[in-house]
Structure 1
Amino acid sequence: MSEALIELDRLEKVFRVRKRAGLLRREVSEVRAVDGISFRVRRGEMVGYIGPNGAGKSTTIKMLTGILTPSGGRLRVAGIDPARQRTALARRIGVVFGQRTTLWWDLPLGDSYQLMRRLYRVEPARFRANLERCVELLELGPLLEVPVRQLSLGQRMRGDVAAALLHDPEVLYLDEPTIGLDVVSRNKVRGFLRDLNREKGTTVLLTTHDLTDIEQLCSRVMVIDRGRLMYDGAFAGLSEVGESERTLIVDLAEERPAIEVPGARVVRVAGPRQWLTFPAARSAAPLVARVAAEYPLVDLSLREPDIEEVIARMYAAGWEGARSGGAGADGGSGVG
């Protein structure tokens, strides 16, 4: 379980962008989408890879799958150079790319799976076992005869997760796997991924804007922004960087003055609804219990800090503070 399955050493990706600089003239500029990132992921790890839009997450994943060729640095997945051995790598990885499906749009979901069995040359017995397990745990049974184009976003996401696992990949790349899912379905997908990792040792690299996904699934999180790795360490350590805050939204039975409880402060009041913030590193349970015991509570919800807010606070705390947020899996800082 200590073997490094994914290795990046000063990985770079530079795009050349042409811009109009006159009627007949064009200027060429360089955009460094990935700027010298280094990290290692051990076999069997579940790692969150997060950052704001345009940070370089998708570019990194595309290089890890062989879709894009690096401009510099070294990259290996299961000992394979993705750009040079893309076909060989494809049989060892699974990918779910957010809004883009790998399923056949006009075919029933079940037919898409049969085509994938042939593409990946999966033995029939192993295919049936994997499909039955995915169908049961992701509740896909009623959808197998439905054309993919008729599926809702949440249904298709579950279908794509199953499709990525039919050939028993060693590495699974997930981009927003719970997008469009209701609370119950989100919990089912999270439970499915936990079981997959525990039973088969599948290595998972997860990108998402939902920090609850990261908190419940990943023991390690990496934050990328502007092509550089800002943080590599435990999720709890991320919450402490820049003193991030969570928000408890409380609906009271009647309009009241601002709630007063230790460890939290009211930042907004709108009739019977109040917003309380508290340090993200602290558990919400004591705060919820105190509010419920002392105030006429109707409902409440918990809002995690947005990743953009976390990164903004990292910058506010200073770049050096962000860099020292945690240690990578190989004992280094994880910062390129």
Structure 2
Amino acid sequence: MAGASPIVVAEDLTRHYRVALKEDSLLGTLRHFLRRRYQTIRAVEGVSFRILPGEVVGFLGPNGAGKTTTLKMLTGLVHPTRGKALVAGHVPWRREKAFLRKITLVMGNKQQLIWDLPAMDSFRLNAAIYEIPEGEFRKRVGELAEMLSLEKKLHQPVRKLSLGERMKAELLAALLHRPEVLFLDEPTLGLDVNAQVAVREFIREYNRRYGATVLLTSHYMADIAALSERVLVIHQGRLLYDGALEGLLARFAPYREVRLTLGSPLPQEALLPFGEVRALEGREARLLVPRERLTERVAEILKRLPVEDLEVREPPLEEVIAKVFQSPLPVEEA
């Protein structure tokens, strides 16, 4: 990918929504009809990034942070208030036919499959929309169904499929036209652990086999850690971080986790001089220690405490992200 031109470009992407304010009373309803008041919701504010062909990029953020709105702008479903975007050489909100052939959007809480019909019928409908010849259609369905372990489920009504099987079928339908850019919004939402692993493995293999570019949002840190070397972090509509996953830990977690197995139980007060006590149960303890004082603190722990085993780790990614999102950001007023 060295020297390649970006396939996804976002420059100062911004989306504001103007919503009416209404009081919960009869008088408030009357006032609402006579003189409406409005509030501006800043869903996305000045987001800029570039993605190279073949990259798998994780997009992290809490509910309402602006992830889905950003994806909708990049797929042309929503016009930005200001800013520019190019995806596969096209301006998304023009919704040109050539553009739609190059992208797909999968949302974990939405479905395109027809509920009472076999999944194969929906696939045939998509093949007709994208003008895929019959021979090529059969070849692609066979390849994708094999990758998804879905061969025996194609002729069952969608309503009889499990949640995991339905998600696999949704992915098959969305990828039938072999898009260059995949926008995946919570593709493992609500799935059990085994189904999550299967979907992750499929996305990884699809990216390896076809060189597709993937922008993936997820609340499950395991999805991001398994698939993405690069992450974007968005909070309150603003992009906080764009870089390597390891760099995210270094920037937002200026501490390391020290796990101890003690020779005998100790009270929490005995551990406080060495770091923040995150957990203490019997002889097992977890401490958070500032990175710059790690060597010094570990030496003190080994010298002063009855330690049977000691392990130093990066803090769990979930905890790091939670700390980021718990810190409110200043938002400029219009």
Q: TM-score, normalised by structure 1?
A: 0.76
Higher helix share: 2
Q: Where do residues 261-272 of structure 1 align in structure 2 (5 Å cutoff)?
A: 267-269=278-280
Measured after TM superposition, the shift of residue 186 of structure 1 is: 2.7
2:218 & 2:258 partners in 1: Cα distance? Answer: 22
Is the radius of gyration larger for structure 1 or structure 2?
2
Equivalent residues of 2:235, 2:325 under 8 A apart: no
Whole-Å separation in 2 of the counterparts to 1:227 and 1:257: 46
Q: Is the 8 A contact 2:265 2:282 kept in 1?
A: no
The offset of 1:238, in angstroms, is: 0.9
Distance 1:26-1:114 versus aligned 2 partners, 3 A rule: same
Query: Which residue does the alignment assign to 2:294?
Result: none
Where does residue 121 of structure 1 map in the other structure? 131
1:262-306, Cα deviation, whole Å (9 max, x unpaired):
x9976335679x673668x9xxxxxxxxxxxx68xxxxxx96415
1:26 alignment counterpart: 36
How has the CA–CA distance of structure 1 residues 28 and 266 changed in structure 2, closer, same or farther, with 3 Å as cutoff?
closer
Q: Secondary structure at the match of 1:145?
A: coil
Amino acid at match of 2:11: D
Percent identity, please: 42
**What is the DSSP-based 3-state SS (H/G/I as helix, E as strand, rest coil) of the residue aligned with 2:94?**
coil
Pair 1:229 & 2:242 matched: no
For 2:123 and 2:211, the matched residues in 1 are separated by 23
* Correspondence 1:291-310 to 2 at 5 A: 304-306=317-319, 308-310=321-323
Instruction: Give yes or no for the alignment of 1:162 onto 2:172.
Output: yes
Which amino acid letter does the alignment assign opposite residue 133 of structure 1?
E
Alignment partners' CA distance in 2, 1:217 and 1:258: 40
| Aligned residue in 1 for 2:6 | 4
CA RMSD of aligned residues (A): 3.3
Q: Given the superposition, is the C-alpha separation of residues 246 and 7 from structure 1 closer, same or farther in structure 2, using an over 3 Å criterion?
A: same
> Matched residues in 2 for 1:240 and 1:186: separation?
27
Q: Which whole-Å CA distance do the structure 2 matches of 1:258 and 1:312 have between them?
A: 33
Provide the C-alpha distance between the structure 2 equivalents of 1:108 and 1:258, rounded to a whole number of angstroms: 61
2:324 match: 311
CA distance in 2: counterparts of 1:80 and 1:165, whole angstroms: 19
TM norm structure 2: 0.77
Aligned twin of 1:208? 218
How many residues were matched structurally?
A: 293
Asked whether 1:257 is paired with 2:265, we answer yes
SS at match of 1:116: helix
The answer (yes or no) to whether the contact 1:246–1:303 under 8 Å persists in 2 is no
Q: CA deviation at 1:247?
A: 8.4
Which sections of structure 1, spanning at least 5 residues, go unmatched? 282-293, 296-301, 320-336
Alignment of 1:76 onto 2:81: no
In structure 2, the gaps of 5 or more residues are: 292-307, 310-314
